[in-house]
């Protein structure tokens, strides 16, 4: 029996990368998984198929997380399918490609803030009330970034957005944590993880070499973020509230 048997887990941005790894990891532990996607239906369907092939239950749910009506409809569909929501993993994100501030358009700034901050707010706004009806509350895990704990290498909009996620997570935890029926909220701050989102950086040998100078001496893998999410959603971490956990191969301690 998996650790999350009969629990319902929602993962946003789950059609690829870190979100995909997280969704499949929860599925392997027995959870009912709602695989959210915005445009990549084929990717989401593949994640659902992988979970079902491993004996789990999953549905793909299309939603634009920056649209309140879309998030409300997604929430309703998940509750209709599985009865409740126990864990929300906000994994969807956008990046600004290190655009200097003098070249950063208002539209690009707004897009980063919408996806990385407003999307998390909306998912929590509509799904936390569902969790509060549960006998044992629920868990929110926000995927932030190492850029939420330090300067993000010139990535102004992304750094600002991920700092906002860190603050939002702490405030959410403070507001809803209480013994027995509370909502635990924590964030994960990945370092550079080998996904499509950072494929451009992976192609830059000089940048790749700089990241190999961290204590771990390598890139992180999506499964390592998934493992952190499993821990933070489990009873083993029941005394952990409101933290932002670096999973970065030690990069933060050297920079």
Annotated catalytic sites, by residue? Answer: 158
Q: Which residues are CB-neighbours of 147 under 8 A, at least 6 positions away?
A: 153, 155, 158, 159, 162, 163
**Cβ–Cβ contacts within 10 Å for residue 62, how many?**
17
Distance, in Å, from the CA atom of 186 to the CA atom of 135, rounded to the nearest integer, reads 20
For residue 110, the SS3 value is helix
Q: Under DSSP, is residue 188 helix (H, G, I), strand (E, B) or coil?
A: strand
Q: According to DSSP H, which parts of the chain are helical?
A: 17-28, 41-53, 68-82, 106-113, 119-132, 156-176, 199-202, 205-211, 222-233
CB within 8 Å of 245: residues ≥ 6 apart = 186, 187, 188, 189, 228, 232
* Cα dihedral 79→85→89→94 (10° resolution): 30
Query: Is 119 within 8 Å of 12 (Cβ atoms)?
Result: yes
């Amino acid at each position: 029996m998996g650790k999350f048997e009969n629990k319902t887990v929602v993962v946003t941005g789950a059609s690829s990368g870190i979100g995909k790894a997280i969704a499949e990891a929860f599925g392997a532990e027995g959870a009912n998984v709602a695989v959210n996607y915005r445009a990549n239906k084929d990717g989401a369907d593949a994640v659902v198929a992988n979970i079902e092939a491993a004996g789990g239950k999953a549905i793909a749910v299309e939603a634009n997380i920056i649209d309140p009506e879309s998030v409300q409809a997604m929430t309703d569909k998940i509750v209709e399918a599985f009865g409740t929501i126990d864990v929300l993993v906000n994994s969807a994100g956008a990046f600004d490609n290190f655009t200097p501030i003098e070249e950063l358009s208002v539209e690009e700034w707004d897009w980063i803030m919408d996806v990385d901050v407003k999307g998390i707010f909306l998912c929590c706004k509509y799904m936390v009330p569902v969790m509060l009806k549960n006998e044992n509350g629920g868990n929110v895990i926000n995927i932030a970034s190492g850029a939420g704990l330090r300067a993000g290498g010139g990535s102004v909009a992304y750094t600002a957005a991920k700092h906002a996620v860190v603050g939002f997570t702490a405030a959410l935890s403070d507001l809803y944590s209480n013994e027995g029926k509370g909502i635990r909220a924590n964030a994960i701050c990945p370092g550079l993880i080998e996904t499509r989102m950072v494929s451009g950086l992976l192609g830059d040998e000089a940048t790749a070499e700089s990241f190999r100078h961290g204590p771990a001496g390598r890139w992180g893998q999506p499964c390592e973020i998934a493992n952190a999410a499993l821990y933070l959603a489990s009873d083993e971490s029941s005394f952990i509230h409101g933290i932002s956990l670096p999973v970065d191969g030690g990069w933060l301690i050297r920079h």
